[in-house]
Structure 1
Amino acid sequence: MPDFTIETTYHLPVFRHRTYAAATLEAACRAAVEDDNWDLAEKDYDSSGEVHITCVWEGAHSAYTGPSVQVPSQFDEAVQRRARHFEILLGLLKIFFDDAHAAQPPSLDWLARSAWEIARGEAILGNAPDPDKPVEPPKANHVLARLQEEQVRNAIAAVLEVDDNFRALSPTAVTDDDIHTACLTIATTMDVSGCFRQCRIPGSACGDPRSASSAPD
């Protein structure tokens, strides 16, 4: 069987106790961080980090001389693995937040990437290897109607101008809570069966919502 030279590593915390005089706690902490005098340092063996693999070479006794091979992801240091993944997930969250703010659906490419990163995150939490196959992205959503509360406020003034029934009501009298309650009422009581009856698949007429087509979100 083949030989591998493996470099294993663990981090050993070093600490010190020193007193700092400062105007604020933040200033004292900053002084402690910037202090480069470690003459009184002690090692904290009880808090040493996990053993992880930092490098692998093919062959016996071949450290830094033989060809190196990629370390299997599950043997990376877990805290670093999570930190790198956090940056990726934060980037994806920003993309989806911008899409939501612009009221536009995310692209299928980003959905597929997110599905893979979710599977990767679960693998990291389970100390398992990264998934090596594309993960099936979630199916597209189809929205028959969208009611956005932030758009209701903009429409209130126009409605009050043309509807005599609300002439005595001013736009400022309608609170955000009123809008939220009204939107919830509409969302829970609206009859969308007529929308299903109007849906058509090319080449056929269908009133069955299970076979209806609609514009993708």
Structure 2
Amino acid sequence: MPDFTIETTYHLPVFRHRTYEADTLDEACRAAIEDDSWDIAEKDVDSSGAIHITGIWDGAHAAYAGPPLQIPPQFDEPVQRRARHFEILLGLLKILFDDVRAARSPSLDWFDRSAWAIARGEAILAGDADPEEPVNLPKPSHVLVTLQENRVRDAITAVLEVDPNFKGLTPEAVTDDEVHAACLSLVARMDFSDVVGNAEFQAALLAIRSTHRRLASD
């Protein structure tokens, strides 16, 4: 049976009580943060952090004697697992926000990664291992055209300036809801298959030419 040297750690809060004279609460807090004198510090044993693993080495009494082994995530410090997962969730939220702002549906890749992120968050709360990351994700897709509602408003202004059929109608009379509904209606009924197919063909030619140049230069 193999031996492992395990380093475990828990964080012990240290606190102090000191009075600061300041004009505002923010100034008092800043003075407390910048105060580097801890001669009256006390330990808060009752609020100590969870015991977690900070190092693993193969063999007996082998701490720092060789390269450490990877720590299984469920034995990492819980607060650090949550902090790292926050970055993942923030990234997914940014992607969703951009899609919603551009009136696009989230990609299949986003749904798969979000499902994994939810499962990972639940594992962190339960102290379990991370779930396996999704595999065989769809290849990235690329936005060819974006219908921007502010550009539609510019077009409304241009049309009303020259079209006598809408005499007396001002751009301000057209509501944001009407512009949004018109964009959705247009996207739903227009067929862009020819445009997309041509773009795919042109992209294929560019990729082939790039490969041809690369191989020719080897």
**Aligned counterparts of 1:114 and 1:91: Cα–Cα separation in 2:** 11
**Aligned counterparts of 1:92 and 1:38: Cα–Cα separation in 2:** 41
Range with bigger deviation, 80-89 or 27-36: 80-89
Correspondence for 2:164: 164
1:108-187 aligned at under 5 Å gives the runs: 114=113, 118=117, 120-137=120-137, 148-174=148-174, 178-184=175-181, 187=184
Give the direction of change, closer, same or farther, for the CA distance of 1:40–1:49 in structure 2 (3 Å limit).
same
Residues 115, 136 of structure 1: 8 Å contact kept? no
| Percent of paired sites with the same residue | 61
The total of aligned residue pairs comes to 195
**More helix per residue:** 2
TM-score, normalised by the number of residues in structure 1:
0.66
1:1-217 aligned at under 5 Å gives the runs: 1-91=1-91, 114=113, 118=117, 120-137=120-137, 148-174=148-174, 178-184=175-181, 187=184, 192=189
RMSD (Å), alpha carbons: 4.4
1:103 is displaced (CA, Å) by 8.2
**Aligned counterparts of 1:18 and 1:59: Cα–Cα separation in 2:** 48
Q: Which runs of 5+ in 2 are unaligned?
A: 201-218
> In the alignment, residue 177 of structure 2 is paired with which amino acid?
H
> In the alignment, residue 157 of structure 2 is paired with which amino acid?
A
> In the alignment, residue 3 of structure 1 is paired with which amino acid?
D
Residues 116, 133 of structure 2: 8 Å contact kept? no
The secondary structure found in structure 2 opposite 1:28 is: helix
Q: 1:80-104: CA deviations, max 9, x gaps?
A: 1222333344456556766777889
TM-score, normalised by the number of residues in structure 2:
0.66
